[in-house]
Amino acid sequence: MNNLKTPQYWLQTTDSTMREAREVSQGNNFVLVSTIEQTTGRGTKGRSWLCGKGNIFMTVAIQIDLLGDPNLPLLPLNTGILLHEVYSRYLHRDFQDRIWIKWPNDILVETKKVSGVLMESDTNYLYVGIGINTAVAPVVTDGGRHSGCLNDYVRSLPSNKKIILEIYEGLIGLTLNPRPAEEVVKNAAQHMDWEQPVFLRSKPEKPWRPICLTKHGELKVRCDKGEERALSAEYLE
């Protein structure tokens, strides 16, 4: 890691760490942008991401050349595994087996979403935006999943800074030393709740049953008429 350029930006306020990360990434291998307040946070599916006071808002820019095949398509899943691992370190034992990866990388405790990931890219970088409800659970009014906050499920939680650095270092580690694809898929599958139906954006009224993960990290689903589909995580613009 010695020759890598991995700067960190710790902001007080910004509109979105996704935009900030694009502005400061050039010439670096990895960049961390974190902010205390985020005024126009963006979520997936065009939703907004609310700024709960004391929560984590961060983006990690990863130089795309460092992510070889097959590591790049597995990054969404790998990010989910990493977040699951980090939170599990601090969870109260009553919740240790109630924390789930909602494919590919939302993290739920029971049915409440405690963190979400937004992935975007340009020619040179992949931007991994992560919002974590460490302190408060914002009330979601735009159709997103009900939120929970990590603080309600832990023995004790370290500072946001420590959690952010664990995630930054984790993302650097899994980029530079990727785990074998089979291991990634197996690990993710162990932490998913296979009982929960999946709803597709194109047909939101119809439940699909998750069946398995493919070796590329896609989610195979089946509907009640037997039709099957492999869903890929859409992280490229």
Q: Which residue is nearest to ligand BTN (CB)?
A: 116
Q: Which is nearer to ligand BTN, 44 or 88 (CB)?
A: 44
Rounded Cα–Cα distance for residues 7 and 25 (Å): 9
Nearer to ligand BTN, 47 or 222 (CB): 47
Closer by beta carbon to ligand BTN, 92 or else 145: 145
Q: Taking the complex as a whole, how short is the minimal distance between the CB of residue 235 and ligand BTN, in angstroms?
A: 11
Closer to ligand BTN by CB, 128 or 221: give it.
128
* Spatial CB neighbours of 217, under 8 Å, sequence gap ≥ 6: 73, 74, 76, 77, 104, 181, 184, 185, 188, 232, 233
Q: Kindly tell me which of 61 and 181 has the beta carbon lying closer to ligand BTN.
A: 61
- Are 206 and 198 contacting, i.e. CB atoms less than 8 angstroms apart? no
Q: How far is the CB of 68 from ligand BTN (least distance, A)?
A: 25
Q: 62 CB contacts (<8 Å, ≥6 apart)?
A: 29, 30, 75, 125, 126, 127, 128, 171, 175
Where do contacts with ligand BTN occur on this chain (CB under 6 A)? 16-18, 41-44, 47, 49, 57-59, 106, 116-118, 129-131
- Cα–Cα nearest to 182, from 227, 219, 216: 216
Minimum Å distance from CB 15 to ligand BTN? 8
Instruction: Say what the alpha-carbon torsion angle 69, 74, 78, 79 is, to the nearest 10 degrees.
Output: 100
Nearest distance, CB of residue 63 and ligand BTN, angstroms: 19
- Asked whether the beta carbons of 59 and 33 are under 8 A apart, the reply is yes
Write down the least CB distance from residue 180 to ligand BTN, Å.
27
